[in-house]
Amino acid sequence: MSKAITQSTFHFKGQTNVYNGKVRDVYTLDNGLLVMVASDRISAFDHVLPKGIPFKGQVLNQVAMMFLDATKDIVPNWLIATPDPSVAIGHACDPIRVEMVIRGYMSGHAAREYKAGKRILCGVPMPEGMKENDKFPVPIITPATKAEEGHDEDISREEIIAKGIVPEAVYVQLEDYTRKLFQRGTEMAAKQGLILVDTKYEFGIRNGEVMLIDEIHTPDSSRYFYAVGYQERQDKNEEQRQLSKEFVRQWLIENNFQGLDGQTMPVMPDEFVKVVTDRYIELYEKITGNMFEKSDTTDIQSRIQANVDTYLSAT
């Protein structure tokens, strides 16, 4: 079985700090750059699962880089280079502590809230008479606070402005960017026979300018349906064929885990780990239209260290 990278202990030229997120490890350099390593960790319900998913980090990194390049005409972003299949290097920004979540369809968290009887999500009304996976008349933006630990929490536009998280003018700009990015992602997905169901964007400030940061349109930050047969499945009240990590969440739910107090994280059998890897590679190939080329996993740590060192030495 291929190896997975679940921890990184790199030391790069000019390194001043390291932040270990749920999935990514971010190394800060003294020249204003960040080295972002996409690990093979997988999280769900705001918990990191015990086993890594081989090639997951490579998939996330390469999908995100493709979309960052394809949307830089809409909003400037942090990316400068990708010296390794699992690494991105870019500008350090001051992160805005809000995730801009946008939903084109009634799925995932929105569907769970809707089933619980809620008709307002993050201050945004949801129409009566909808069922799971129905398309919203217009995509809705449902922001979430970016938690350092634990669960991200829903928050409304009004609360964001009232709490001074960002000035109103900046928030208006974030909403505008979010809708334009979602439209571009929707168009790109449609060309590949997919529906971009929902996604989230993160932004930061650099030299007074709003910039798109982190990943976009990956299976960790987004949900995709297959377009062919979508309406037929809806009409028959069947589950949608989707490419996202929602199936991992469903597996956890079936094994009595939703990140709640007192629940024990189940251990994924190797067979299921392989299934997850295959699903991530399937999404990569489907959304990019390219064959996935597996990187050398013989010694991932040494490979990444060498590739980043070579890049930094040349800059």
Asked if residues 306 and 86 have their Cβ atoms less than 8 Å apart, the reply is no
How many angstroms separate the Cα of 290 from the Cα of each of 40, 133, 229? 21, 28, 23
Dihedral of the alpha carbons of 42, 47, 51, 54, in degrees to the nearest 10: 0
CATH 3.30.360.10 fits 94-243, yes or no: no
Does residue 112 surpass a pLDDT of 90?
A: yes
> Using CA of residue 23, residue 29, residue 35, residue 39, what is the dihedral sign?
negative
Average confidence score pLDDT of the chain: 93
229: confidence class by pLDDT, cuts 50, 70, 90:
very high
pLDDT at position 72 is 97
| Single-letter amino acid code for the residue at 231 | Q
Dihedral of the alpha carbons of 282, 283, 288, 292, in degrees to the nearest 10: -40
Which residue from 57, 21, 19 is spatially nearest to 39, judged by alpha carbons? 57
Half-sphere exposure for 188 (CA within 13 Å, toward CB)? 20
> Using CA of residue 73, residue 78, residue 80, residue 83, what is the dihedral sign?
negative
How many angstroms separate the Cα of 86 from the Cα of each of 3, 99, 117, 159? 14, 23, 41, 36
pLDDT at position 94 is 95
pLDDT at position 284 is 93
Exposure string of 173-206, with b = 16+ CB inside 10 Å and e = fewer, is ebeebbeebbebbbebbeeeebbbbbbbbbbbeb
Token pair listed for 107: 């799925």
Does residue 206 surpass a pLDDT of 90?
A: yes
pLDDT at position 230 is 98
Which residue from 29, 92, 24 is spatially nearest to 58, judged by alpha carbons? 24
Asked if residues 246 and 279 have their Cβ atoms less than 8 Å apart, the reply is no
**Domain positions in the chain:** 94-243
Our CA angle for 244, 307, 311, nearest 5°, is 110
243: confidence class by pLDDT, cuts 50, 70, 90:
confident
Q: What is the DSSP letter of 145?
A: E
Asked if residues 171 and 143 have their Cβ atoms less than 8 Å apart, the reply is no
pLDDT at position 315 is 83
Average pLDDT (112-126) is 96
Of the chain, the end-to-end C-alpha distance in Å amounts to 36
pLDDT at position 42 is 92
* Burial class, 6, CB count within 10 angstroms (exposed 0-12 / middle 13-18 / buried 19+): middle
* pLDDT 10s digits, 145-189: 976 555 678 999 999 999 999 999 999 999 999 999 999 999 999
Does residue 55 surpass a pLDDT of 60?
A: yes
pLDDT at position 245 is 79
Average pLDDT (241-264) is 88
Average pLDDT (95-107) is 96
Does residue 246 surpass a pLDDT of 80?
A: no
pTM of the shown model: 0.90
